[in-house]
Amino acid sequence: MKLLLLLGLVALAQCLVTRVPLRKVKTLRQTLEEHGLLERYLQQHPYNPAAKYFRRRFSAEPMQNYLDNSYFGTISIGTPPQEFTVIFDTGSSNLWVPSVYCSSQSCSDHKRFNPAKSSTFIGTNDSLYIAYGTGSMTGVLGYDTVTVADLKIIDQIFGLAETEPGNFFYYCPFDGILGLAFPSIASSGATPVFDNMMTEHLVSRDLFSVFLSKDEQSGSFVLFGAIDPSYTTNGINWIPLSAETYWQITMDSVSIDGESVACSQGCQAIVDTGTSLLAVPNRALRAILRTLGANSNSEISCRAASRLPDIVFHINGKAFPVPASAYVTEIEGYCSLGLQGMNVPTEAGELWILGDVFIREYYVIFNRANNMVGLSRLS
């Protein structure tokens, strides 16, 4: 009703413009954008005659949920396009895929980019090395057309993997990684994909949002340039970034049953779609496991697990609970907690990683315009 009324008012204003030529009337697009209704209007009226006057500058990329362990979608590189599955990783900033130059075992089981088959590829002599928490790669940099959903980025720099040591990537169900963090942490100074989306005005808003499904269900997506209002019915809590590197924020504390168990003096955390679990500083992990009654390997009896309380993350004055149903995993009668120990020091203390275990409970908005993270509790 609100949308129809607004369209009627706009139509009336446009009719009156010939009678009052000195009055500047906003366009339909401007009015819809101001009221946050443009995206809904375009979705509901895909064949509206006025559609030719709009440029649809937001795009959803569906992602496959693989065992609640990783989420990946399909992109293409080159002309004609060569398709690859990639993790959309807010914990790194580089795009890379295996190449025909790679002889590692990990590359043998994945699609490999062939620059000789792309008429738009531009090679360089620049090398690339990236180390992740698990796995690493080396390669060379090149430029080519990259398509993510229906967004086409011209001359996007990316890595062509030549080595992928070890066997971690061999067992991964995806080919490569598309980093969505800030340019400041990009290896070899490569410009991230989303930065080029913004520079080339491919998105109407300088943000993207993520929904991760539960229990291996379909429906996961990353939405470039927009916020889906159907996932924000519980409101959005905006959290300012504490550093423009990862999507890094300051946490106030972590509590269980109303008692602080860790981060009591504040700590740093990153919201990372590329990490499956909750990665916790080792000292804090021991305190949490002790409070929950789990052993040092994060194992717990399934009977006890059914009665576990929420782990509550206090951020920017708000509480963000993660229930036991989110952080307990049961496999063949054995239960474990979705937490892992890790020590990553920063200038402001040790770093926490809020991975997929946390993100599945919230619709997450990564806002580059205001350098904030938005969290909306999912029903």
150 included as an active-site residue: no
From the candidates 68, 228, 272, 310, give the one annotated as an active-site residue: 272
Three-class HEC string of the chain: CHHHHHHHHHHHHHHHCCCCCCCCCCCHHHHHHHCCCHHHHHHHCCCCHHHHHCCCCCEEEEEEEECCCEEEEEEEECCCCEEEEEEEECCCCCEEEEECCCCCHHHHCCCCECHHHCCCCEEEEEEEEEECCCCEEEEEEEEEEEEECCEEEEEEEEEEEEECCCCCHHHCCCCEEEECCCHHHCHHHCCCHHHHHHHCCCCCCCEEEEECCCCCCCCEEEEECCCCHHHCCCCCEEEECCEECCEEEEEEEEEECCEEEECCCCEEEEECCCCCCEEECHHHHHHHHHHHCCCCCCEECHHHHCCCCCEEEEECCEEEEECHHHHEEEECCEEEECEEECCCEECCEEEEEECHHHHCCEEEEEECCCCEEEEEECC
215 included as an active-site residue: no
The tokens for 92 are 């790194």
Spatial CA neighbour of 41 closest among 4, 8, 16, 82: 4
From the candidates 89, 175, 195, 252, give the one annotated as an active-site residue: 89
Q: Count of alpha carbons within 13 Å of 64, Cβ hemisphere only?
A: 10
Q: What angle do CA 372, 374, 378 make, to 5 degrees?
A: 165
Catalytic residue list: 89, 272
